[in-house]
C-alpha cells in the first residue's frame, strides 16, 4: 500500500487537529473542518489504511485516531525539511541578555525566556568545561590558609574554587603565582591539564609548588568528575497544565523525571555522541525514540550552541509529543542566534 497524496493530507489533518485539541480525531471532524472534498466514509477507509501503515492508532475500538510515533516522525521530518523563515531578531531578548555578565546567569535567563515563550520545559547545559580554552587564572587571598582560584575560560565562564593550603600567602605573592599559571596554561583546553603537565608546572613554581599543584588538581578532578557541565531547567510546571498529564500519577512521574538533573544531562548530551541524527542543527526525538519509559509521552528538541567554533553546549525543549514543533523549533533557533552572538562577540 502506498502513502499517496490524499492519505498524506488526511494524516496532516489528523495530526494538526490532534495538536490543537488533544482529543482523538474522527472522520467526521476532518470532513467538516478540512476542505478535502471527500465524505467521512471515504476518510474512514483511508484512515483504516493509515492505521495499517502504522502512522495513526486508535486508543480504543470506537474512538477517533491519534498519531503514532511513526506518524509524528513523518510530520516532523516534513517540518524540518521545509524552508524556514530565517530566525527573527528578538530585541527584547537581546535587552534581557545584555544585562547578564556571567555565562551561567545568561543561560539561566535564556531557559527562563524560552520556557515562558514556548510554554514548555527548557533545558540547557553549560559549555563543556573540559573543551574550553583557558583564558585566565587568578588566585585570590581569602583568609589564613585559604585561597580562591578563579579560572576564566572561553565565553567568559568563570569557575571559582576554594583551596586550603598549608601556609599563608599575601595577594602580591598570589599574583606572582597567577602569572606563572597563566604563562603555562593560557590558551590550553581545560582537559589538557593532566598529571604530567601538573608535575611540569609545579617545577616552575619552586617552593610554591604546593598551591600550584592544588589548583591544578582541583581543576583536573572537576573535569573528571562530571562536574563538567551543569544543567539548568525552567518551566517544568508548564507540563502540569497539559491534558496529557491531567492524571496525577503521570504528572508526578514527569515532574520527577524533569527533576533528575543527571538524567536530563545524559538525555541532552546524547547529542554529542554519534547516535542521534542531527538535521539542520536541530535534533528531535519523539516519544519512544528517547528510549526511556518516563519520556515515552514527550518529545525532546535539542540543538547545540558554539563557542569559538566548537559545539560546547546543548539547549533544548521538552514537551508533550503533541507540542507545536514548528514554533518550538523557531523559538529555539532565534534564541540560539542571540546566545551565540553574546558568547562570541569578542
Q: Which of residues 174-233 bind a copy of itself (CB under 8 A)?
A: 175, 178-179, 182
Q: Which does 26 bind (CB under 5 to 8 A by kind): a copy of itself, DNA, none?
A: DNA
Min dist. Cβ of residue 37 to DNA (A): 7
Based on the shown chain and the rule CB under 8 A, indicate whether residue 163 belongs to the binding site for a copy of itself: yes
> How many chain residues bind a copy of itself (CB under 8 A)?
36
- For the chain, how many residues are written? 346
All three cell numbers of 310, joined, read 566548537
Give the whole-angstrom CA distance, residue 7 versus residue 80.
20
Q: Does 278 bind a copy of itself (CB under 8 A)?
A: no
Half-sphere exposure of 145 (CA within 13 A, CB side): 4
Q: Which three cell numbers stand for residue 280?
A: 539542520
| Measured distance CA(222)–CA(230) in Å, rounded | 12
Q: Which of 54, 101, 200, 293 binds a copy of itself (CB under 8 A)?
A: 101
Judged by CB under 7 A, how many residues of this single chain contact DNA?
26
User: Is residue 26 a contact residue for DNA (CB under 7 A)?
Assistant: yes
Number of alpha helices (DSSP H) and beta strands (DSSP E) in the chain: 12, 10
- Give the shortest CB-245-to-a copy of itself separation in angstroms: 9
Q: Residue 188: which of DNA, a copy of itself, none does it interact with, CB under 5 to 8 A by kind?
A: none
Distance of alpha carbon 137 from alpha carbon 135, whole angstroms:
7
Query: Who's near 177: CB < 8 A, 6+ residues apart?
Result: 139, 169, 205, 208, 211, 212
Residue 136 partner contact from a copy of itself, DNA, none using kind-dependent CB cut-offs of 5 to 8 Å: a copy of itself
Residue 41 as a binder of DNA (CB under 7 A): the answer is: yes
Residue 341, interface with a copy of itself (CB under 8 A)? Answer: no
C-alpha triplet 80, 82, 86: angle, nearest 5°: 90
- The nearest distance, CB 301 to a copy of itself, in angstroms, is 22
Q: Least CB distance from residue 238 to DNA, whole Å?
A: 23
Indicate which of a copy of itself, DNA, none lies near residue 165 (CB less than 5 to 8 Å, by partner kind): none
DSSP classification of residue 301: E
CB contact at 8 A, 242 and 21: no
List binders of a copy of itself among 281-300 (CB under 8 A).
none
Asked if 163 and 215 touch (Cβ cutoff 8 Å), the reply is yes
- CB nearer a copy of itself, residue 285 or residue 342: 342
Contacts of 250 (CB under 8 A, 6+ apart): 244, 297
Q: Which does 40 bind (CB under 5 to 8 A by kind): a copy of itself, DNA, none?
A: DNA
How far apart (Å, rounded) are the C-alpha atoms in residues 222 and 271?
22
Strands (DSSP E) found in the chain: 56-57, 66-67, 121-125, 134-143, 146-153, 157-164, 231-234, 282-286, 298-307, 310-320
Could you say which of 10, 11, 15, 24 contacts DNA (CB under 7 A)?
A: 24
Q: Which residue has the cell 483504516?
A: 48
277 binds, among DNA, a copy of itself, none (CB under 5 to 8 A by kind): none
Q: Which is nearer to DNA, 47 or 314 (CB)?
A: 47
User: How far is residue 329's CA from residue 326's CA, in Å, rounded to a whole number?
Assistant: 5
Q: Footprint of a copy of itself on this chain (CB under 8 A)?
A: 101-102, 135-136, 138, 140-144, 146, 148, 150, 152, 156, 158, 160-163, 171, 175, 178-179, 182, 237, 240-241, 246, 248, 251-252, 255-256, 259, 346
Q: Footprint of DNA on this chain (CB under 7 A)?
A: 23-29, 37-42, 44-45, 47-48, 51, 58-65
Amino acid at each position: 500500500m502506498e502513502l499517496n497524496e490524499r492519505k498524506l493530507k488526511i494524516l496532516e489533518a489528523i495530526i494538526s487537529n490532534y495538536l490543537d485539541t488533544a482529543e482523538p480525531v474522527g472522520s467526521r471532524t476532518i470532513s467538516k473542518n478540512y476542505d478535502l472534498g471527500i465524505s467521512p466514509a471515504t476518510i474512514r477507509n483511508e484512515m483504516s489504511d493509515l492505521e495499517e501503515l502504522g502512522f495513526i492508532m486508535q486508543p480504543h475500538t470506537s474512538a477517533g485516531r491519534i498519531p503514532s510515533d511513526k506518524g509524528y516522525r513523518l510530520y516532523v521530518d516534513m517540518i524540518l525539511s521545509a524552508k524556514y523563515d530565517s530566525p527573527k531578531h528578538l530585541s527584547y531578548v537581546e535587552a534581557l541578555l545584555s544585562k547578564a555578565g556571567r555565562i551561567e546567569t545568561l543561560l539561566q535567563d535564556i531557559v527562563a525566556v524560552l520556557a515562558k515563550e514556548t510554554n514548555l520545559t527548557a533545558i540547557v547545559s553549560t559549555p563543556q568545561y573540559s573543551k574550553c580554552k583557558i583564558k585566565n587564572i587568578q588566585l585570590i587571598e581569602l583568609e589564613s590558609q585559604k585561597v580562591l582560584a578563579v579560572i576564566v575560560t572561553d565565553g567568559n565562564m568563570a569557575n571559582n574554587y576554594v583551596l586550603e593550603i598549608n601556609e599563608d600567602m599575601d595577594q602580591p605573592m598570589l599574583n606572582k603565582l597567577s602569572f606563572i599559571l597563566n604563562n603555562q596554561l593560557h590558551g590550553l583546553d581545560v582537559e589538557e591539564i593532566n598529571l604530567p603537565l601538573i608535575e611540569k608546572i609545579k617545577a616552575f613554581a619552586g617552593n610554591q609548588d604546593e598551591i600550584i599543584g592544588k589548583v591544578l588538581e582541583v581543576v583536573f578532578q572537576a573535569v573528571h568528575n562530571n562536574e563538567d557541565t551543569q544543567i539548568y531547567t525552567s518551566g517544568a510546571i508548564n507540563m502540569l497544565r497539559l491534558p496529557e498529564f491531567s492524571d496525577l500519577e503521570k504528572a508526578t512521574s514527569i515532574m520527577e523525571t524533569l527533576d533528575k538533573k543527571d538524567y536530563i544531562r545524559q538525555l541532552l548530551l546524547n547529542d554529542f555522541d554519534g547516535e542521534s541524527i542531527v538535521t539542520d542543527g536541530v535534533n528531535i526525538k519523539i516519544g519512544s525514540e528517547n528510549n526511556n519509559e518516563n519520556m515515552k509521552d514527550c518529545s525532546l528538541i535539542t540543538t547545540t550552541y558554539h563557542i569559538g567554533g566548537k559545539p560546547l553546549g546543548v539547549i533544548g525543549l521538552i514537551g508533550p509529543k503533541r507540542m507545536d514543533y514548528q514554533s518550538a523549533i523557531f523559538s529555539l533557533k532565534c534564541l540560539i542566534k542571540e546566545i551565540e552572538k553574546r558568547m562570541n562577540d569578542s
